[in-house]
A and B are shown apart, each in its own frame.
Chain A
């Protein structure tokens, strides 16, 4: 589990935006998600409940969202912690192969929209398995590399 992110303090604009996102979340949390309140605005821990009727129904997962200094111009780092779901796009170290977290990030996205995308990704899964290259990838990430440093190849457009 790569939890160490070289963190620079959030910029003013990032702080401001995250405060607002958090407030909005509290008023209107995305369905199936629960933000675990902490003092740390820069790292959110979010509980995910598998959507009913999907392979992950009644399962709980935890997402860790780390925000870079220049959020939202820069994407947050989002990984599963503890027991990542068995999913073809989720590596056993919690890294998630999902384009919006990397190349396709847009500053108009929010934590909330990320969460929904992730739940969507889970829900569309038809088989519970690790990515085929899981072992190799995880080995390469042993030094706590951030998934944001990975060059992802987004091959599955059915997510």
Chain B
């Protein structure tokens, strides 16, 4: 509708072909401007309205409202013609950066007014953001309260909550619910809280929200995959968008688009989100895992345990969402890691274990060349790109056999296949983003742009846990995923506890970075872009670095421990690559 009008030449009143006096424009070629407006290359200079209206768009720079805006080619953010003329000074000697995403050579296009559809979507998003914000606030209040009670309760019982993870958890375990457990990190977490760290020097934005990865209360999670889903996914979503909004993240529109995709997919698509929080295993299962955990401890498998106990709760994780990074490529890493991690309780752990296993059996101390890991995936008859997944699967088998958590895992698998579809969509989305930024590996790439990416990817991974479930879909998506997958592979070993002791300090981004860098030295210095990413991740977001390896919940620790013990057992048996074949 508006589109047509705007496109038709003669429709534009001559009055609106020149600036309305919002700014004192210097150096504006009025003739040229007029021609551009008449040719519908730029939005007409309508006088901006003070107040918002359903059919008006707000220019994010002058905050006035217009029937239609220009959109930046890089990030599709709107801008009115007069502000554009200010930002993009014609006589500037150096190319203008996009004020929203900092892409060099800022340019806009005019596509007419937004369609009703677009507006509807936007409004729906905004509504959701508002709702979710309220939820976050409420949630946090509850959380704070609970944490306080918890602290009071636990103070006399045990000395250090940090030590409790390695040792004390055992006794405690039988009496605490997952929810309670999630509270425990409150103390160490707060101490090491550092959501803002990033390597960029740009605006690192964070918001000390502690509730995002905690578990729903017991009553909440009775049927976690049905109930919690919608709500929790909203919470995550908002989170990204709130931080986006607060964070001088200029990329809101694009983010919004991606976001709306994910939020418009109703139903099973939401399910994977829950994986982040619903490890509502039976007591029995927990006890079995506990037994394994303890036996591992007895075996004197000190190293991994030590490092786990030193930063038991990667508060850092939370930062992952809003971290801001330098190179868009780096973004692959955390999300990728998270992907594997978020997928299943054991998914991440087993993926690590798979790598650990190889490390133990074959590549002690060395790095896994990306190609090789790919090949291995192929060997095991899984997907070529989803490196982690094939191994994850096989390890899951092991875990299942050992722990007898048959039921829960089966359930998860069912779940996974049910979300296949959304995974495809999400993956495609993420890929688009990757491509978009892939061409912009420039450091001047803005924080926001990349953080946006990150969020997209994170989102992708979260809901698209189905990466594992729908390998076929990913196969189609080509090399980017492979790349992501493989660089993930290379990054993980370097972050393994025994490889990178320095990483133990979650507060110290630099240390983590160097640790990661050390870890990567072994392999491919030429591929620094990809291989150093763990370093970048670590530095950018110390949170992310630790988070990416350290299990965030007791269950995950269990799984990790089990997986590690399996790996070691296998190594001892000297069956090279035994588990991979299964």
Interface residues of B in 80-107 (CB under 8 A from A): 83, 86-87, 97, 99-100, 102
Give the most central of B60, B191, B246, B250: most A CB within 10 Å: B246
- Quick one: CB contact mask for A126-156 with B, threshold 8 Å, 1 for yes? 1000000000000000000000000000101
Residues of A within 8 A of B193 (CB): 51-54, 123
Judge if A39 is at the interface, Cβ distance under 8 Å: no
Q: Are A100 and B248 in contact (CB under 8 A)?
A: yes
CB–CB B194/A54 < 8 A: yes
- Supposing A13-B23, A16-B64, A123-B194 touch, asked if A117 and B86 sit within 8 A by C-beta, the answer is no
Chain A residues contacting B507 (CB-CB under 8 Å) are 126
A106 touches B102 (CB 8 A): yes
Asked if residues B206 and A120 are in contact (CB atoms below 8 Å), the reply is: yes
B192 at the interface (CB under 8 A from A): yes
Residue of A28, A113, A158 near B198 (CB, 8 A) is: A158
Minimum CB distance partner of A20 in chain B = B63
A16/B189 contact (C-beta < 8 A), A106-B250, A108-B100, A112-B246 known: no
Q: How far in angstroms is the closest Cβ of chain A from B547?
A: 15
B residues near A16, Cβ cutoff 8 Å: 50, 62-64
CB contacts (< 8 Å) of A31 on chain B: these are 207-208
Interface residues of chain B: helix, strand, loop or mixed (majority): loop
- Given A106-B100, A107-B87, the answer on whether A124 and B203 have CB atoms closer than 8 Å is no
User: Does B205 touch A at the CB level, under 8 Å?
Assistant: yes
* Alpha-carbon distance A117/B196, docked complex (angstroms): 9
Whether A53 pairs with B207 at a CB distance below 8 angstroms is no
**Count class of interface residues, chain B:** 35 or more
CB proximity to A under 8 Å, residues B511-570: 539
- The CA-CA distance from A3 to B553 in the complex, in Å, is 50
- Please measure, in the bound complex, the distance between the C-alpha atom of A20 and the C-alpha atom of B50, giving whole angstroms: 9
A113 touches B247 (CB 8 A): yes
- Inter-chain CA distance A156–B198, complex, in Å, is 10
User: How far is A113 from B204 in the complex, measured between Cα atoms in Å?
Assistant: 10
Instruction: Tell me, in angstroms, the Cα distance from A99 to B200 when the chains sit together.
Output: 11
Asked if B248 and A110 make an inter-chain contact with CB atoms under 8 angstroms apart, the answer reads yes
Chain B residues near A104 (CB, 8 Å)? Answer: 202
Give residues 1-53 of A contacting B (CB, 8 Å). Answer: 11-13, 16-17, 20-21, 28, 30-31, 51-53
B328 close to chain A: CB less than 8 A:
no
A123 to B541, CA, bound (A): 12
Docked Cα-Cα span, A120 to B200, in Å, equals 12
Closest-CB distance, B78 to chain A (whole angstroms): 11
| Neighbour of A120 across the interface among B86, B189, B205, CB < 8 A | B205
Q: Are the C-beta atoms of A13 and B22 separated by less than 8 Å?
A: yes
Max chain B Cβ within 10 angstroms of own Cβ: one of A20, A100, A116: A116
Contact for B246 among A53, A72, A116, A123, CB less than 8 A:
A116
Give the CA-CA distance A30 to B194 in the complex, in Å.
Answer: 18
Closest to A119 in B: B196
Interchain nearest-CB distance for A141 vs B (Å): 22
CB distance from A30 to the nearest CB of B (A): 6
A residues near B99, Cβ cutoff 8 Å: 106-108
Which residue of B is nearest A156, CB measured? B201
Q: Mark A66-110, 1 if CB is under 8 A from B, else 0.
A: 000000110000000000000000000000000110001011111
How many chain A residues sit at the interface, stated as a range, is 35 or more
Chain B 164-206, CB-CB to A under 8 Å as 1, else 0, gives 0000000000000000000000000111111111111111111
Are B201 and A154 in contact (CB-based, < 8 A)? Answer: yes
Are B200 and A117 in contact, with the CB atoms below 8 A?
no
Q: Which of B50, B205, B207, B509 contacts A117 (CB 8 A)?
A: B205
Question: Inside 8 A of B63's CB, which chain A residues have their CB?
Answer: 16-17, 20-21
A13 CB contacts on chain B under 8 angstroms: 22-23, 62
- Name the B residues within 8 Å of A113 (CB-CB): 203, 205, 246-249
Alpha-carbon gap, A112 to B60, bound state (A): 14
CA distance A73 to B85 in the complex (A): 11
Q: Are B100 and A116 in contact (CB under 8 A)?
A: no
Are A53 and B190 interface neighbours, CB within 8 A?
yes
> What mask results when residues 330 to 364 of chain B are scored 1 for a CB within 8 Å of chain A, else 0?
00000000000000000000000000000000000
Interface string of B270-294 (1 = CB under 8 A from A): 0000000000000000000000000
Instruction: Report yes or no: A51 in contact with B208, Cβ–Cβ below 8 A.
Output: yes
The CA of A20 and the CA of B199, in the complex, are separated in Å by 33
Which residues of the partner chain A approach B201 to less than 8 Å between Cβ atoms? 99, 154, 156-159
Residue on A with the closest CB to B195? Answer: A123
In the assembled complex, how far is the CB of residue B331 from the closest CB belonging to chain A, in whole angstroms? 16
Chain A residues positioned under 8 Å from B207 (CB to CB): 31, 116
The answer to whether A116 and B247 touch across the interface, beta carbons within 8 angstroms, is: yes
B510 within 8 A of A: yes
- Asked if B405 lies at the interface with its beta carbon under 8 angstroms from chain A, I say no
Within 8 Å by CB of A158, from B61, B97, B315, B510, lies B510
- B326 contacts A by Cβ under 8 Å: yes
Is B417 in contact with chain A by the CB < 8 A criterion? no
Residues of A within 8 A of B191 (CB): 53
The residue of chain A having its C-beta at the shortest distance from the C-beta of B443 within the complex is: A157
**Which residues on A sit within 8 Å (CB–CB) of B60?**
108
Given contacts A106-B248, A116-B203, A120-B205, contact A158 B196 (CB under 8 A): no
- Scoring B60, B189, B201 by chain A CB atoms within 10 A of each residue's CB, the highest score goes to B201
CA A40 to CA B65, docked complex, whole Å:
25
**Chain B 242-283 interface mask (CB, 8 Å, partner A; 1/0):** 000011111000000000000000000000000000000000
Contacts of B76 in A (CB 8 A): none
Q: Report yes or no: A108 in contact with B248, Cβ–Cβ below 8 A.
A: yes
| 8 cross-chain pairs, A with B, having the tightest CB-CB distances, nearest first | A53-B193, A113-B248, A157-B201, A120-B196, A117-B203, A53-B190, A106-B99, A123-B196
What would be 29 A-B contacts, judged by CB atoms less than 8 Å apart? Answer: A11-B23, A16-B50, A16-B62, A30-B246, A31-B208, A52-B193, A53-B191, A53-B192, A53-B208, A73-B23, A73-B87, A104-B202, A106-B99, A107-B61, A107-B86, A113-B246, A116-B207, A116-B246, A117-B205, A117-B248, A123-B193, A123-B206, A123-B208, A124-B197, A124-B204, A124-B509, A154-B201, A157-B201, A158-B510
Q: A13-B23, A113-B248 are in contact. List 12 more A-B contacts (CB 8 A).
A: A13-B62, A16-B64, A31-B208, A52-B190, A73-B23, A106-B99, A106-B250, A108-B99, A109-B250, A112-B246, A123-B206, A158-B539
